[in-house]
Amino acid sequence: MDHQGRDTRHTTEAIELVYRHTRAGILAAVLVRERHRRMTWPRRIMSGLLLCMALLLVYGGRTPLASVAVWLLLAVFFWAIPHVYTFHALRIVQWQGEFRTTVTEDGVAAVNDHCSLTQRWTLFRGYREISDAFVLLSRDRGVMWVETLPKDGLSDPRDADRLRALLDRHLKRL
């Protein structure tokens, strides 16, 4: 069955994007997801507290260097969580090559050389526009699914306005 995402009803409002996922694009989407889940400040505060603990151990006296290193590593880990997610997501999608995505009144259909995926609008809770992409956030409680539509994948810069209007008709801005 080779339908390549053509099972959606394409209308005159179909907007096509052609792009390869980049580290910067995925990191931007992960940060949007983190802000939406209100995890940015807790992560920063936890990193700061762990760093303060390491500094207190250093200036507090006879603390083994291994204890200080553990607290420093924990602080770096909490700070780096979005970067770790980005690394793993990029490993999943980078080898798939070029994505050809079509956004229609029915939803978003993405195709590459290895797979095709059609997502109805009901899958998403809303979207956020950032400087170089539109980030669609899934409806599930933990916002586990994020779809990124990079603006540089559009063939015409005016398509960004058309895409924004189409997204506004089906999703709310977050």
Supply the pLDDT for residue 51: 84
| Least-confidence region, from 59-68, 118-127, 130-139, 162-171 | 59-68
Sign of CA dihedral 20, 23, 24, 26: positive
Q: What are phi and psi of 134, to 5 degrees?
A: -110, 130
For residue 51, give the nearest of 66, 67, 73, 80 by alpha carbon.
73
pLDDT band at 119 (very low <50, low <70, confident <90, very high): very high
The better pLDDT of the pair 90, 66 is held by 90
**Per-residue model confidence (pLDDT) at position 10:** 47
Top-confidence residue, 119 or 56 = 119
CB 119 within 8 A of CB 140: no
Alpha carbons within 13 angstroms on the beta-carbon side of residue 34 total 21
- The predicted pLDDT at position 68 comes to 80
In whole angstroms, what separates CA 79 from the centre of its chain? 17
Is the pLDDT confidence value at 132 over 70?
yes
Average pLDDT rounded to a whole number, residues 103-127: 92
**CB within 8 A of 137, min separation 6: which ones?**
32, 33, 36, 124, 125, 126, 127, 128, 143, 145, 146, 174
Q: Which of 78-82, 86-90, 150-154 has the lowest mean pLDDT?
A: 78-82
pLDDT at 1: 37
Torsion, Cα 160 99 135 161, to 10 degrees, reads 10
pLDDT average, residue stretch 14-36: 88
Average pLDDT over the chain, rounded to an integer: 84
